[in-house]
Chains A and B, each alone.
Chain A
Amino acid sequence: MRLLINFFFCFALTTSVVAQTIPDFNNYQPIKCVGLIPEDFRTLSQDKFKNDVKTEAKAAKNHNVSSSKEEFLLETNYIIDQLLLSGKVLFGDTVTEYVNKVADRVLVNQPELRGKLRFYCLRSSEANAFSTNQGIVFVTLGLIAQLENEAQLAYVLSHEIAHYERHHTMNEYIRNEQIFSKNDQYKYSNSDDQIRAASSYSKELELEADSIGLIRLSKTGYDCDAALSSMFVLQFSELPFEDFEFNASILENPVMVLPKDLFLDTVQKINLDNDKEDDTYSTHPNVAARRKKLEIILDDLTGCGNQDFTMSAKTFFFIRKICRFETVRILVNERDYVAAFYNTYVLQKEDSTSNYLRLCMGKSLYGIAKYKNHDQYSDVSDFYGKKEGNQQQCYYLFQKASAVQMNMIALRYLYNLSKTDSSFFVTSMRNDLADEAVRLNDVHFEDMKKTYALYLEIKNAPVVDTTKAKVIDTVKVAVQTDDADSKVYVSKYDKLRKEKKKQDLTQAVETKKSDASKFYLLAFGDVMDNASVKAMFDLAEERTTTKNAADKLVQDKRDKMSSYELRKEEQYGANEMRKKGMSLGIDTVVYVDPFYVMADDHKGIKFIQSETEQLEFCNQITENAGYAKLSIDVLNPKTFGANDVEKYNDLSILNDWIGERVAHEDEMEMVPMETDRMIPLMKKYNTSHFCYTGIYTVKQKREDRGFIIFFSIICYPILPFGIAYALSPEYNTYYYTLMYDANTGKPDVSREVHIKSKSKKGFINSIMYDMMVQIKREKKTTTVTR
C-alpha cells in the first residue's frame, strides 16, 4: 500500500511538472514567470521589516529587539527585495515548480516548516543557493544545470533549510558586528584576526547546516550519498557542463581551415585535488573539510534511503536541460562569451539542430569579435592559462586569433545563421560585423576574391606539400627550372639572368604562400559566387564610405581651425546645449524601474525613506509626463499587483537588456544580445525608447569646513554665519537619466544632473519636466548656424 501511495505521489509530481508548457528545444524560448506574483514580491520592504520586528519582539523574552537585529532585519529586507524585484527571480515556471516539489518531498515530515518557506529560482550562471532569515530559499539555474540527480538538489535545499531553521544569517550578522566593532567580548589585536574570527564562525555555521541537512535528507528516502556527491559537484561547478574535446570544424568551411598555430597541442588536465584550498579567510570550509564532516555523520546515520529520484529521472534531466539552455543565455548576457560558446558547443552535441543554440553561439562569436575589434577582449575573457580541461582550447583559440581573423570567423558564422534566421537581430549583428570588417580590418570583397583565386590556383597545382599547415599545405607552386639550357658556353650575363629569374619565381611563390596564409580571406571562399555575400560587402562598403566621408568632413573642418577656434566651437556647442537642450522628437517612452536612494555619510542608505520617496518619485514621473504631453509607461515593480506577471516578465527582459547594454562602451556601438527578446516589447509598448532614471541623494559633512571657519575668523563679522555654514551638512543630489533606443542600442540620453541641494520635490519636478520636454520636442529641421 505504501509503495502504491509512493508511486501515485511520484506520478502526480512528475506529471504536474512536465505537464507545464514543454519547451521545444529547437526553438527554445527563455522561461518566464507564470501565475500570480507572490506576496513576497508585492509587500513593501518597510512593511516586511515592521512585521519581522513584531515577530522578533514576540519571540524575545523581554519583548525587546536589539538594535543589531533591527538593523539586520531592515537591511536584509531591502536587499532581498531588490533581488526579488530585479526580474532575476523566477516563480511559477517549470523549474521553480520542480524545485518546490523537491522541497515538498524534503519537508514531507515537517509541514509547519514547509509552510514558512518559499523557494525561488535565480537566473544566474553561478552554481549557488542561499536562504534568508525571512524564509526564502534561492537556487540558481547555474547550480541545477550542474547537478547529477534530484537527490543532490534535495540535499542542497535541505542544507539551506537548516540555515533558515537555525537563524544562521542573523546570528552571523550579529556576531560579525560584535567582532568588527571590537566589542569587549571579542578583543582582537588587528583586522586580520577579526577576519579570521568572522570566517571561522561562518565555517562553523556551514558545517552545522551540512550536518542538519544530511540528517534531514536521511529521513526523506533520498540516497544520503547525494550529500557527498553534491560536494563533488560543488568542487567542479566552475567547469562547463561537460568536458568534450573541441572540434573547430563548426567554425570552418570547405575552403577556410583554421591554422594549427591557433590550437594547443594538449590541454591542461583538470586538477582533481583542488578540494583542500586554503579557507582561512573564506566564509565556507573547503570541500575536503565538508566531505570529511559528512562522512563522519554518514557513518553513524541509519535509515537512509537509496533514491536518486523520487520523480522520474527523465523529469530531472528535462529540468536540467532547461537550466543549461538558460545558463548559456545568461553567460552571454554576462559577457562571458567564451564560456557561453563552449557550453553551447557542449549542448549542441545533443541538440545539434537547435536554432536557439546556434543563435547563442552566434551571439558569443559576435561578442568576442566585437571586443577583439575594439581591443577590449581582456574585459570579457580570462587568460587561457587559468583554464582546465577541453574548454582551454576555446580560450586559447579566441585569445590567439587576431581581431581580423575573429571578425571574419564570426561574420561567416552569422552569415550562415542569417540564412536560416532572417530576424532583424541576426541581420543587425551580421551587418555590424561586415561593417567592422571593412572599416576597421580593411577586408574587402575584391581581396577575398583574389585570395580565393589564388587558393584555387594553389589547390590545382600538381605538387602538394603535406608537411605544412592545412591552408599553407596546399601552397605549392613548382619552380620551373630551365635544365634544357645546357650550352657549353654560358656567359656571365646568361648565368645572372637565370639566377634572377629563379629568384623572382621563388619570391612570387613566397608571396602567394603568404597571401594564402591569410585564411580569414577565405571565410566566404565556398560561397564566393553567392550574390548575397557580394551584396553584404557592397552594403558594408557603402556604409563605410558614407561614414568615412562624414568623419573626413568633420576632420577637415577641424584641421582648418586653429586651437582657439576649436575651443570656441566646442564651447559654443556646449553653451547651445545648455541653453536650448535637446530636441529628440520622441513621443512614447517606457520608464523602467525608477530608483531613489537616500544616503547618509554615517548611517549609510536610509532604506525606509528611500522606498517611500521612490514611490513618490514614480508619481512625479507620471505627473510631469502629463505636463510635458509625453506618453509614458512606468514599470515600477513596487506597484505591481498580483496579476501583473506579464509586466514582471517585461521588466526582467528590460533589466537584462539595459544591464548588458550599460556594460558595453558606447564607442563599440554593439547590438545588445537581448535585442531579440526586446522586439516583442517594442511592439507591445509601441516604442523603442526605454529609460532608466533615478535619484541618488546624499548628506555629507562639508569637506572645506576648516577653511570656512578659518576664513570666518579672519573676517570676524561673518563668523556666526561661517560657523553655522561649516557645521551644517552638505547635500548633494544626482538625477540620472539614461535612455536607449532598443533598435540600435545607442543611447538617446545619458545625463547626470548634479544639484548641490537636498532632493526637493520642486527641483526634481523642474528638472524632470525639462528633460521630458527635450525628449518630446520635435527635432529641428534646420541646423543652427552662427
Chain B
Amino acid sequence: MKKLICFSTFIFAFGLQTISAQVPGYQGKRFFIGYNASSFFYCPNFTFENGLLGIFELTRISYKTEVNVNYALSRKVAAGFSYYTAKQNDAFTNDQIQNYGYMQPTAGIAQCKLAIYEIHFQFFRKNFIAPAGLYNQLSVGIVKYGLATPDNKLTVYSTNLGGSGNPPLILTGPAEKYTCYKLGYAIGKTNPIGHNFYINTALGVNFFRGGDAAYVKTTPSTQNYILANFNKNLRTHNFVEIKIGLGWIAF
C-alpha cells in the first residue's frame, strides 16, 4: 500500500510539474491512460480445399482487452506499459488431434486464459506530435497463459479408441503458467476529443517466440498436449489484431 501511495504521489507531483512547465505533449499534458479492445478474425481450420465457404464457416473472432499507461517522452516518442487479458476458446484442429493420439477436449474446445505484460514505444509519424496522431508502435512483452478451468484440469477423450464413449482422460495443467515472449508492431492513430480524451485505433501484428513454446516442436505427447495446442492457437488468434479504445489524457 505504501508503495502505491509513493508511486501515486510521485506521478501526481510529476504531473503538476509538467503542467506548469513549457513541455511538449497535448496542450502540455504528457501522461495518458487508455483502454483498448482488440479483435480479429481467424480461421483455425482453413485449407484451400475448404474454399471460400470454408473460410466463412470456420472463421472465429478473437477478443482481448488492454489497459495501458503512457508518457510522452519527447515530441515524437511516447513510452508505455500495457496489460492485456483474454480468455480464448481454442478449437482443436484435426491436425492436432491426429498428432497427439487422437485426443480432443470433451467440450470440443479448450478455454485458454492469457495475460500479457508489455512495454511499448510509440514513434509518432511525420508532422504528428505525441500523444496525438499517427504512430508506429514497437512492443515487447511476456505472455502468461494456461487453462482457464478452475481446477486447472482438461478432460479429453481419444477419438482413436472409439469416440466419446471411451473413458475420458484428465490432463492436469502446469503448476505455473506457460510463458512465451511477444514481439509486436502496430500502426495506430490517437485522435484527441476535447481536452482530456482520445480515441485510439490501431492495427498490429504480434510474434510469439521463446519460453515454453520451445517445447512445441518436441515429440507430441500427452504431456505437452495442452502447451502445444494453446501455443499454436495463441499465435493464430493474436497474430493480427485491430485495436479500438478510449483514453484519458491525464496531465
Contact A776–B128 (Cβ < 8 Å): no
A579-B75, A755-B133, A770-B75 as given contacts; A762 in contact with B192, CB under 8 Å: yes
Interchain CA distance A765-B194 in the complex, whole Å: 9
In the complex, B211 has a CB within 8 A of chain A? no
Interchain CA distance A623-B194 in the complex, whole Å: 12
Which A-chain residue is minimally distant from B192 (CB atoms)?
A762
Chain A, 529-549, contact with B by CB distance < 8 Å: what is the 0/1 string? 000000000000000000000
Tell me which residues across on chain B come within 8 A of A628, comparing CB atoms: 22, 28
In the complex, B160 has a CB within 8 A of chain A? no
In the complex, B127 has a CB within 8 A of chain A? yes
The number of residues on chain A lying at the interface, defined by a beta carbon within 8 Å of a beta carbon of chain B, is 26
Interface size for chain B: under 10, 10 to 19, 20 to 34, or 35 or more residues? 20 to 34
A579-B76, A580-B74, A769-B28 as given contacts; A763 in contact with B22, CB under 8 Å: no
Tell me which residues across on chain A come within 8 A of B23, comparing CB atoms: 773
Interchain CA distance A757-B190 in the complex, whole Å: 12
In the complex, A767 has a CB within 8 A of chain B? yes
The residue that B132 contacts in the complex, of A753, A763, A777, with Cβ under 8 A, is A763
Which A-chain residue is minimally distant from B19 (CB atoms)?
A627
A578-B76, A624-B27, A627-B28 as given contacts; A766 in contact with B22, CB under 8 Å: no
Contacting A at CB under 8 A, from B187-203, are 189, 191-195, 198
In the complex, A166 has a CB within 8 A of chain B? no
Chain A, 615-632, contact with B by CB distance < 8 Å: what is the 0/1 string? 000000001100111000
Tell me which residues across on chain A come within 8 A of B133, comparing CB atoms: 755, 757, 763, 766
Pair count A-B, CB < 8 A: 69
Tell me which residues across on chain B come within 8 A of A757, comparing CB atoms: 133-134, 189
Chain B, 59-84, contact with A by CB distance < 8 Å: what is the 0/1 string? 00000000000000011100000000
In the complex, B26 has a CB within 8 A of chain A? yes
In the complex, A498 has a CB within 8 A of chain B? no
In the complex, B186 has a CB within 8 A of chain A? no
Chain A, 748-764, contact with B by CB distance < 8 Å: what is the 0/1 string? 00000111010011110
The residue that B192 contacts in the complex, of A624, A627, A766, with Cβ under 8 A, is A766
In the complex, A240 has a CB within 8 A of chain B? no
Contact B27–A627 (Cβ < 8 Å): yes
Tell me which residues across on chain B come within 8 A of A765, comparing CB atoms: 26-27, 132, 192, 195
Interchain CA distance A777-B21 in the complex, whole Å: 10
In the complex, A747 has a CB within 8 A of chain B? no
Which A-chain residue is minimally distant from B27 (CB atoms)?
A627
A629-B22, A773-B22 as given contacts; A766 in contact with B75, CB under 8 Å: no
Which B-chain residue is minimally distant from A627 (CB atoms)?
B27
The residue that A767 contacts in the complex, of B25, B74, B127, B198, with Cβ under 8 A, is B127
In the complex, B129 has a CB within 8 A of chain A? yes
Interchain CA distance A243-B127 in the complex, whole Å: 56
Interchain CA distance A628-B192 in the complex, whole Å: 18
In the complex, B24 has a CB within 8 A of chain A? yes
In the complex, A581 has a CB within 8 A of chain B? yes
Which A-chain residue is minimally distant from B46 (CB atoms)?
A717
Least distance between B41 CB and chain A CB atoms (Å): 10
Contact A766–B132 (Cβ < 8 Å): yes
7 extra interface residue pairs, beta carbon distance < 8 Å, beyond A765-B192, A769-B129, A773-B24: A629-B22, A755-B127, A762-B132, A762-B194, A763-B128, A763-B191, A765-B26
Listed A/B pairs (28) with beta-carbon separation below 8 Å = A579-B75, A580-B75, A581-B24, A624-B27, A628-B28, A753-B127, A755-B127, A757-B133, A757-B189, A760-B192, A761-B192, A762-B26, A762-B192, A762-B193, A762-B198, A763-B132, A763-B192, A765-B195, A766-B26, A766-B27, A766-B128, A766-B129, A767-B127, A769-B27, A769-B28, A773-B22, A773-B24, A777-B22
CB-CB nearest 3 A-B residue pairs: A762-B192, A766-B132, A627-B27
Name B residues whose Cβ lies closer than 8 Å to a Cβ of A.
22-28, 55, 74-76, 126-129, 132-134, 189, 191-195, 198
